[in-house]
Amino acid sequence: MITPTYGAVRRPVAVLAVSLVLVGCGGGTVATSDQRPGTTSVNGSAGASPTPAPRVALSVAPQQLPGLGSKTWAKVPPKTRQALVVTGRGKNSSTSTAVLYERTESGWHAGASWPAHNAFKGWTDHHRAGDLRSPIGVYPLTDAGGLRADPGTSLPYDQSGGFSIGGTGFEGEPLAGSFDYVVAINYNRQAGTTPLDWTRPLGAGRGGGIWLHVDHGGPTQGCVSLRKKHMKELLRALDPDRDPVIVMGNAAALRR
């Protein structure tokens, strides 16, 4: 993989990007097996009914990500071996749960479950700038950055003062520190660039600046937020060689 180099000289749009970024911006199935001796009976007599052995439960990792319907699952690239699944409580809810899954030869294995926030008005299949909804879909995770120093991620990381933020959120909570650590969600952005890059392939009207960032205790404008300790865990876990993606949306949408 060619790792992009984020230079020290910033484009003039970098600060503008942050000012325009709308801030706040399983387990497996169970299989069973029966082991039945052929001729052993309760009293040891030949020809008597065999004694069945106890049923043994075997934990089997699922071969596709739990909670996804065929339409959503089809959007997950076959080469992907890391997927952060963010499941919203409802279409109009701003609360979610995030689980990082890792794929091995035996199937998908779930990590810890983390509380998360999404946009103030919930979710949408057709995100527009300023709609206060998070975009439903499957998006690569290729680039990271933040106001604070790299916590040890394998993703390209841009530490910059351009990630400074102030003000308050929807519930009056302070936004300071929300961009200490971010991972760019590749919705309407150019992969392989700093999260501060303002390129919008679908046009400015389709929004952008959709990130994973530090939770500030309330709904976002379009992003997904995790507690700071969980953002640091996520950054350290994400591996570009495993082609990580985020699968995000309300539960009903993801089941399609």
Helix (H) or strand (E) holding 253: helix 251-254
Are 94 and 133 a contacting pair, CB within 8 Å? no
- Closest to 218 measured CA to CA, from 167, 181, 168, 183: 168
Q: How many residues does the chain have?
A: 256
Joined tokens for residue 234: 């996520």
Q: What is the pLDDT of residues 19-29, one digit of tens each?
A: 333 333 633 33
Q: What is the pLDDT of residue 82?
A: 98
Q: What is the pLDDT of residue 59?
A: 57
- Closest to 118 measured CA to CA, from 202, 206, 34, 25: 25
- Closest to 189 measured CA to CA, from 215, 207, 213: 207
97 bridge partner residues: 87, 115
- Closest to 119 measured CA to CA, from 251, 256, 232, 250: 250
Mean pLDDT of 206-215: 98
The helix/strand/coil state of 236 is: helix
Are 185 and 192 a contacting pair, CB within 8 Å? no
Mean pLDDT of 10-21: 35
Tokens 């003000």: give the residue: 167
Q: How many beta carbons lie within 10 A of that of residue 44, not counting itself?
A: 9
Helix (H) or strand (E) holding 158: strand 157-159
Q: What is the pLDDT of residues 115-171, one digit of tens each?
A: 999 999 999 999 999 999 999 999 999 999 999 999 999 999 999 999 999 999 999
Domains of the chain, by residue range, sit at 14-27+63-254
Q: Does residue 134 or residue 14 have the better pLDDT?
A: 134
Rounded CA separation 116/1 (Å)? 30
